[in-house]
Structure 1
Amino acid sequence: MLEVDMKTTIMTLYQKGYNKTQIGKMLSIDRKTVRKVLREETQGKELPQETQEGTWPSMLDEYKEYIEIQLSKELSITRIHQDLQKEFGVACGYTTLRDYVKKIRKSQPHAYMVLHSLPGEEAQVDFGYIGTLRVNGTPRKAWIFVMSLSYSRYMYVAVTLDQSVQTFIRCHTEAFRYFGGVPQTVKIDNLKAAIVEADFYEPTVQRTYAAFAGHYGFLPNPCRVYTPTDKGKVESNVRYVKENCFKGRDFKEIEEAKRFLLSWLKETANRRIHGTTSRKPETVYLETEKAYLKPLPAQDFLFSKSGAATVRTDCHIVHDGNYYSVPYTYIGMEVDVIEVNHLLKIYHAGKEIALHSLCGNAKGEHVTDKSHYPSTKTITQEELLSSYREKMAQVGTGALAFLEAFKDTEMYQCHHYRSISGILALRKKYGEDAVDKACQRACHYGNITYRAVKKICESGLYHLPLEDEQELSMEGRSKIRKLSDYRQMTGLGVISHE
């Protein structure tokens, strides 16, 4: 026989919304026992009432308001489940909460805000499938591309045979020409032609479409995923075009359909009284919106090639046989490359990171923007020479004379400064005085090389006095010993360092 506290527990759980099977499992007792207790305890008492949907009240009913608030914050069911357990100690399973949320969402009507746009502020675009049209006698799948100005509802429509990037951009270009200008933003669906990754917070815009948007000066504004109301104006226009222009009409060829569409667009669609604005789209467009559109660019957007490349350690990518620089921070990364109007645009994650003029038909050319290198690598030859001059002057007059003589050598002409770097490094081992005298001796004998200065230091020849200049002028330079003679004398022990 069950104790009183067990019966009380059964009743409490039942009143919270648990069914007989759940209570039995929770208390490790038979379901029949639970049913018997409920019958005994509820005799002569009012039983919990069923809802209109025929389900018993839920244990989560008392937290309904809290759950609705959390859902309005767009929190996930997993997060709400965790918070219910942590903050209220609610002992319900995830599936129980999930099912409860489904019921809440079914019972709540969706509310949407009316989105008003300013003149020239926004256009919305979308594709709509219209069945098949004959192309040279062969049936082909066909779509309509629709761009609608959000303020006036003035629209442009084109028939297409695909939804590729090229088609998408071509239709944009034709629409802008039709409007005589460009809106500030274009709201697009998450089409592969425009969006690589559909993310509400950071959508990745397809590289070619991003370049196209930059060329025409508008901002692509992707809709939220599974939220068609974000572009409700063009959605309704797509339905209108399909129903009013194409439904029930049989065109012999696609060209016939295109001609009819242009005529219908001008005479019917843009001159009808719009159901929402109660005005003709053409009238609102001409009287107000057209003046707010941005002017068309001087050149159309023309692209021929696009692809991917990897940034090399020398901060360049290889494209069509030539080398183009990229900021050093992208070394080792894959970037997107696109040719636009004789320019090469380089993108990473949808962001333009480099712009160069194309080399044309040349091959093996390096096109380099020095700002793409680290600051330590962009020092000019003049700046580098000035730095070495300062350091050699600190060593002494002999070292400074060596540097000036070095400027007349082939090494300097080829921008190789390793000789000077090597001489400065000799200071650590021999000291500045020895290096200065060695440079002076090397200059005296016209041997302006790092190797000569190093040998003089190693052999201790910098201790020897230089030959008198008067003697040189009287007896000629034939009496000057070569450095090789000094090395030989040192090897024979003729010259002592003592």
Structure 2
Amino acid sequence: MYHYRQVLVRMRQGDSDRDIAKSRIMSRKKLAEVRELALARGWLLHATALPDDTMLAEVFASKDDLPASCQSTVTPWRNEIEKWHAAGITVTRIHQVLTERHGYTGSYSSVYRMLQQIQSRRDPDVPMRLEFAPGEAAQVDFGAGPQITDVMSGEIFKTWFFVMTLCWSRHQYVEMVRDQTVATWLFCHRHAFEWFGAVPARIIIDNPKCAITRACIHEPEVQRAYAECAEGYGFKIDPCPPRDPQKKGIVESGVKYVKRSFLALREFRSLADANEQVKAWVTREAGNRCHGTTREVPLARFAEVERAMLQSLPDVPPELAVWAGVKVHRDAHVQFEKSFYSVPFRLVGQSLWLKATDTTVKLYRDHALVATHVRQQHPGSRSTVSDHLPPEAQAWQLQGVEWCVREAERIGPSCHALVLALFGNQVLVMLRAVQGVLRLAKSYGDIRLEAACRRANHFGTPTYRAVKTILQKGLDQQPERPAFDTLADTYTQGGRFCRDTETLFVH
């Protein structure tokens, strides 16, 4: 409308269309149309006031009010194009469908211009800039770090970096880590709070699995371990809506800043060396730069204002523990991080809650504690409490070879001799057989067991089955018959009836 007003002013001053066209405001053809409309409405008379912009906009037709010859060739299908575009269909596909179904002969560019016109009429998606008070909130995120080669061990591993940025001062904490597990997430929070010396009232996060078990706009489900951490430190968790990272744009910018200003062209000897360098960088460079948004120094804003507005650290740091749902295996053990922990054998097949700290592992059935172990640090290791195993397994573990020998010696010499004979087997491990023999004392008593072992030894059958049969049939209570060896001596001394005269005439 500004150009139309300038044209009318110059026409009222007496300038010709040729002179006005030289200024390249409008073409001579367009100027002739404007002069015709102005004369008809009396706008070129000095006694008449110039029309305002609203009047000019009503008089001069918009670009959409074109004659039929100037309209787009895809105008008949405008409504269908709007629906297809709203459904996410590409411009190329829309052009193909118009050609195949409706016999459209126009160009791809015509369809593209139509979509641009449709989009220009829509209300723009204008994001709202979030404002935060000092100490109100911090934003947290992970970023992909470099691949580090440890100069001492030669190990090559991938890294990530954890960033927590205070929303008001833009002061931040950065830590290089090797994974994004729940334990790493919790300890990075602790280190960040200790770095700031205080705790923000709210932590704005994305929806990582180490913090949120089910992402949802209205009622997200928080990881149990992270919820306990929030309760212990006194902050509230504020997850962003799914697929909407703009809600934590401050830390998103912080992650980019770390990548571009710190990680670029740097070398690290180890993970510890990387963390030393990044802390020095945050203190010297990142914290003392003039921030592009606040136009102030983050570390100065933090020290002068925000530090006093944050919540104090608890007197006793809360216990950081990882919770996991586990199932009891057939061997009365559960598995956690490639290590195994025993529980009472009656819980086989049931689901339990496992709570793991740096030093201990506790297992709960509902809310009842059922087992406690020292946390194992090496994959494949086992922690077994003997009382958790069935009686048979306990007997196998506790009643070893030494115990069996001592117990047999206590019962009597015959039992001791039979046990030694069983253990002397050159082919089989006879521990179960010996344990079975000794357990017979519970049913028959030590005296009868000793007698049964003596009879079994006497007849040359020192086996578990022989001792058990003797006891079941009561043979241990019958008098022993003369040994075969005594009769054999008689035969070897000259025959059955060969006796000397001294013995023959004794009576």
Select the structure of larger CA radius of gyration. 2
- Alignment TM class, shorter chain as reference: 0.3 to 0.5
Give TM-score scaled by structure 1 length: 0.46
